[in-house]
Amino acid sequence: MNKKMNGNEIEILLVEDNVHDAELTIRSLKKVNLANKLIHVRDGAEALDFIFAKGDFAGRNILNRPKVVLLDIKMPKVDGIEVLRQIKSNETTKTIPVVMMTSSKEEQDMISSYNLGVNSYVVKPVDFEGFVKAVCELGLYWLITNQQIQ
């Protein structure tokens, strides 16, 4: 977990247990100058602690929300579907954009995600160039183009 920041100025919360995918995502976002305000957590439990200002993030102001959550589905402790469920069922956090960024092409994962209110479902491209392009486009859209509720 990147604990350089106190969690009050985060724009991107990256929830990814695969170290290689996390590093590639961060490097891709750096290419378009969008990784400065990013925090990476490795499982759903850490993600929920961050979102709801608990555990290691207990001092964080819960009203300072990330502009987007990039969320994997298959993770230890708490999976991405449950993280999404908790974010979207809470009045304080339900408007945070959540993008499932996963290797899962399982139809049930997509159906569950959309039923719970995911904002986007992206299957990670397996080739390096495609992965970098997808991450850059996601970052630019959610941080620059998309208009959000403050």
- Which of 37, 32, 4 is closest to 14 using CA atoms? 37
pTM of the model: 0.86
Task: Give pLDDT, residue 127.
Answer: 81
Measure the CA–CA gap between 14 and 81, rounded to whole angstroms: 15
Give the burial class of 24: count Cβ atoms within 10 A of its Cβ; 0-12 exposed, 13-18 middle, 19 or more buried. middle
**Quick one: pLDDT at residue 2?**
45
Where the chain has pLDDT below 70, the residues are: 1-9, 146-150
Query: Residue 67 in contact with residue 12, Cβ under 8 Å?
Result: yes
* pLDDT computed for residue 65 by the predictor: 87
Per-residue confidence (pLDDT) for residue 129, from 0 to 100? 85
* Share in percent of the chain as helix, strand, coil (round to 5): 40, 15, 45
Domains of the chain with CATH codes: 11-144 (3.40.50.2300)
Judging by beta carbons within 10 Å of its beta carbon (0-12, 13-18, 19+), is residue 55 exposed, middle or buried?
A: exposed
